[in-house]
Amino acid sequence: MNKSEANDYTIEAMQMSNLKHGGNIYSNAKKFNLLPSEIIDASASLVPFDPPQILIDSLNSEIKNLGFRYYPERNLSDLKEIIGKFHGINPDNILPGNGASELITWAGYEASKFGINIIPAPCFVDYERSLNCWNSNFIHCELPKNWNNIFPQTFPLHPKGDVIWITNPHNPTGQLWEKNSLEEIIKKYKLVICDEAFLSITPNGEKESLIPLTKKYDNLLVLRSLTKIFNIPGLRLGYVVGSSKKLKQWEINRDPWPLNSFAIKAGIDILSNQKFYGRWIKQIHSWINIEKKRVCEKLSKIKNLKVHNSSTNFFLIESGTSLSPNIRYLENKRILIRECTSFKYLDEKWARISLQSRKNNSLLCKEIQNSFKK
Ligand SMILES: Cc1ncc(COP(=O)(O)O)c(C=O)c1O
């Protein structure tokens, strides 16, 4: 897309882009006159359990101490310090953000300093939003539509361009990319933005993280989110790891207080307790391994439905015909799955499903099976 086309990105298009995300639970609850908790939301790929007690305690203590009466610390030094310790990275190379989404916006700012951005697709829609904010040029490159069940996989594309946006594991396909193949990519582009929003949630994912490579490559930015793994989309907490020079510039340009005091406190308390973190992650990985196998086996039995392999807590299904009637049927049963027409190179024959609790997965599978009988 060139700059003048990007300028045509009207307010209407921006409003539409809100609908491109999954997790529209409030608007759906309103539509069906339900509470959000009465809906099974398999359209947003979050851990379906209550957030850990340590996080609730952290938020309660912020209320008790009236910590929100003060402006949060501007330079976020305590949180940077904790994240730095957590990853073995200098705090100067870390910038916390209001979810990974805010940092995607700033990554777009960095990308706008170069020529052509490559977006492997289908992909998370927010990269495009960010690049449009800064009038940047970008092209989509199509990822192969079939892949095996062995993860990690070699990153399959090396298109010509200046900047590349990688998602590891990839959203919406759930492919986990192998670190060595990504290092080859880092050597070829002026800037590599690697979004690891789902990496901690992914069994065996952490080994493929590019965070250690930020010490070696100045042209690498790695984005992280705490949203998925702790089920805290409403808190807004993420961070980026990369060149301190770049991040300093973002700090100068961004809002003065992008993170609220609750998110800061929660981030510090969660990430400073490595013992708790290790236990939580182990539990989540075990849930994914067990439930993914069970759900995928059940859905694979449906005639004309292909279940695509995934390394993580969401996966794609592909039907021989449109899945729109199935999605509407499920909505009437208070179940949301992610329709895929807003993903480049996918259409109404595709949908993305995220894993739920065991009980809700059983219900989800049963209703998906029923939706094909209608
Ligand atoms: C690949 C990817 N990156 C980033 C995000 C945004 O994460 P956050 O909630 O931290 O803004 C999402 C949300 O769905 C995502 O799918």
Q: What is the pLDDT of residue 260?
A: 97
Instruction: Read off the amino acid at residue 308.
Output: H
Higher pLDDT, 60 or 20: 60
Picking from 80-84, 156-160, 282-286, which range would have the lowest pLDDT averaged per residue?
A: 156-160
Answer whether residue 21 shows pLDDT above 70: no
Residue reference for tokens 């590019």? 210
Contact 113, 91 (CB under 8 A): no
Q: Which atom of ligand 1 is nearest to the CA of 104?
A: 4
Mutation to probe ligand 1, out of 125, 227, 343 (largest number of atoms < 8 A from CB): 227
Residues sharing a CB contact under 8 Å with residue 122, sequence separation 6 or more, in sequence order: 143, 172, 173, 340, 343, 344, 345, 346
CA of 197 relative to ligand 1 center, distance in Å: 6
Compare 124 and 8 and report the one with higher pLDDT. Answer: 124
316 and 172 Cβ atoms separated by less than 8 Å: yes
Site residues for ligand 1, CB cut-off 6 Å: 99-101, 124, 167, 171, 195, 197, 225, 227, 233, 238
CA of 177 to the centre of ligand 1 (A): 17
Over residues 343-362, mean pLDDT: 97
Q: Rounded CA gap, 95 and 261, in Å?
A: 16
Residue 12 has pLDDT above 70, yes or no: no
Decide: helix, strand or coil at residue 160.
Answer: coil
- Distance from the CA of 81 to the center of ligand 1, in angstroms? 23
Of 43, 124, 315, the one to substitute when testing ligand 1's pocket (max ligand atoms within 8 A of C-beta) is: 124
Q: Is the pLDDT of residue 4 over 80?
A: no
Residue 374 pLDDT class (50, 70, 90 cuts):
low
* pLDDT at residue 15 in the model: 46
Residue 30: what pLDDT?
Answer: 79
The mean pLDDT of the chain is 93
DSSP H/E element including 278: helix 274-300
- Residue 20 — very low, low, confident or very high, per pLDDT cuts 50/70/90? low
Comparison of pLDDT for 24 and 118, the residue scoring more: 118
- For ligand 1, pick from 101, 127, 239, 240 the residue to mutate: most ligand atoms within 8 Å of CB: 101
**Confidence bin at 321 (pLDDT 50/70/90):** very high
What is the structure's pLDDT at 27?
76
21 Cα nearest atom in ligand 1: 14
Residue 304 Cα to ligand 1 midpoint, Å, equals: 31
- pLDDT at position 357 over 90: yes
Centroid of ligand 1 to alpha carbon of 46 (angstroms): 10
- Number of other residues whose CB lies within 10 A of the CB of residue 78: 15
Q: Is the pLDDT of residue 8 over 50?
A: no
* DSSP label of 40: E
User: Which ligand 1 atom is at minimum distance from the Cα of 22?
Assistant: 14
Please give the number of the atom of ligand 1 that sits closest to the Cα of 101.
Answer: 11
Ligand 1 center from residue 101 Cα (angstroms): 6
- State in Å: Cα 158 to ligand 1 middle: 24
pLDDT band with cut points at 50, 70 and 90 for residue 365: very high
pTM comes to 0.93
312: CA distance to ligand 1 center in Å?
A: 14
What spacing in Å lies between the alpha carbon of 28 and ligand 1's midpoint? Answer: 20
Q: How confident is the model at residue 38 (pLDDT cuts 50, 70, 90)?
A: confident
pLDDT for 13 equals 45
pLDDT of residue 195 exceeding 60? yes
Percent of all residues in the chain with a pLDDT value above 70, rounded to a whole number: 94
In this predicted structure, the answer to whether residue 6 has a pLDDT above a threshold of 50 is no
* pLDDT value of residue 33: 79
Q: Is 346 or 23 the better-scoring residue by pLDDT?
A: 346
